[in-house]
């Protein structure tokens, strides 16, 4: 039938609505990560500021710490960065950076400009560690407990609300 083509927009719209409806049931910021409750993947990476030194999660064993995935090319990282700088000034919890798919010089320059809240940053230039951690996008932040188990994952920038209501209480609880 010739008139049927006029119904194409309606059909396309129906498909769009179906997707939007499913989308509504999900929170784009909360991905149920299969890594929560599992030991953090092991890795050995050079430090961003000192290529001769290496870092691995076992170096932090016995401490509750945050692993914050960032990059100099990441726009949303600038949103959360002042909060991280603030946290490090108050020494609330050690934060380790994972500079993800970045150039070393760019990463260092970025820290020089925006402030460096990290105990150190591991340098993941190929993004392999990021894949092991199931990183979907930058920034992401993992809360890792004393036994090296991932307890929480923040997708997207850390907000003041997430920090005060979720991350810091969790850190306090894990620290006992």
Partner 1 sequence: MIPELGHFALVVALSLAAAQAALSFTGAATGRHALMGASRPIAIGQFLFVAGAFAALAYAFVTSDFSVVNVVEHSNSKLPLQYRFAATWGSHEGSMLLWTLMLGGWTFAVALFSRHLPERLVARVLGVMGLVSAGFLLFILLTSDPFERLIPAAAEGHDLNPLLQDPGMVVHPPMLYMGYVGFSVAFAFAIAALLEGRLDAAWARWSRPWTTAAWCFLTLGIMMGSAWAYYELGWGGWWFWDPVENASFMPWLAGTALIHSLAVTEKRGTFRAWTVLLAIVAFSLSLVGTFLVRSGVLTSVHAFATDPRRGIFILLFLVVVVGGSLAIFAWRAPRVGLGSSFAPVSRESMLLANNVLLGVALAAVMLGTLYPLFLDALNLGKISVGPPYFDAVFFPLMAPAVFLMAVGPVASWKRARLPDLWIRLRWAFGVAVVAALLLPFLLGRWSPLIAFGLWLALWLVASAVAQLVQRLEAAPQATLGAKLRAQSLSWYGMTVAHLGIAVFILGVTIVKGYETERDLRMAPGQHTAIGGYDFEFKGVREVPGPNYTAIQGAFDIRRAGSPQVVRTLYPQKRMYPADGQTMTEAAIDTGLTRDLYVSLGEPVEGGAWGVRVYHKPFVDWIWGGCVLMALGGFLALADRRYRVKRAAAVPAGAAAQGAMP
Report angle CA 62, 29, 21 to the nearest 5 degrees.
150
Interacting stretch for partner 1, rule CB under 8 A, among 11-19, 36-44, 55-63, 92-100? Answer: 11-19
The residue range among 23-31, 50-58, 95-103, 168-176 that interacts with partner 1, by the rule CB under 8 A, is 23-31
- When asked if residue 24 is in the footprint of partner 1 (CB under 8 A), the reply is yes
Residue 79 touches partner 1, criterion: CB under 8 A: yes
Tokens of 73: 């090319």
What is the rounded distance in angstroms from the CA atom of residue 104 to the CA atom of residue 125? 8
Four-residue CA torsion sign, 168, 147, 157, 69? positive
Q: Pick from 162, 169, 128, 153: which is nearest to 38 by CA? A: 153
Q: For the chain, state the CA radius of gyration.
A: 20
**127 interacts with partner 1 by CB under 8 A:** no
Site for partner 1 contains 105 (CB under 8 A): no
130-169: contacts with partner 1 (CB under 8 A): 136-137, 155-156, 159-160
Chain residues in the site for partner 1 (CB under 8 A): 2-3, 6-7, 9-10, 13-14, 16-24, 26-29, 31, 75-76, 78-79, 82, 85, 109-110, 112-115, 136-137, 155-156, 159-160
């Amino acid at each position: 039938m010739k008139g049927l083509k006029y119904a194409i927009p309606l059909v396309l719209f129906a498909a769009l609505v179906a997707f939007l409806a499913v989308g509504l049931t999900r929170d784009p910021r909360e991905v149920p990560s299969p890594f929560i409750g599992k030991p953090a993947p092991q890795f050995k990476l050079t430090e961003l500021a000192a290529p001769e030194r290496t870092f691995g999660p076992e170096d932090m064993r016995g401490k509750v710490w945050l692993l914050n995935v960032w990059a100099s090319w990441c726009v949303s990282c600038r949103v959360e960065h002042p909060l991280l700088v603030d946290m490090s000034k108050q020494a609330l919890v050690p934060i380790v950076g994972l500079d993800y798919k970045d150039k070393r010089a760019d990463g260092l320059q970025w820290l020089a400009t925006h402030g460096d809240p990290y105990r150190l940053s591991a340098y993941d230039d190929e993004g392999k560690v990021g894949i092991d951690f199931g990183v979907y996008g930058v920034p992401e932040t993992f809360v890792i407990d004393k036994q090296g188990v991932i307890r929480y994952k923040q997708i997207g920038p850390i907000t003041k609300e997430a920090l005060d209501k979720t991350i810091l209480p969790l850190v306090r609880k894990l620290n006992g």
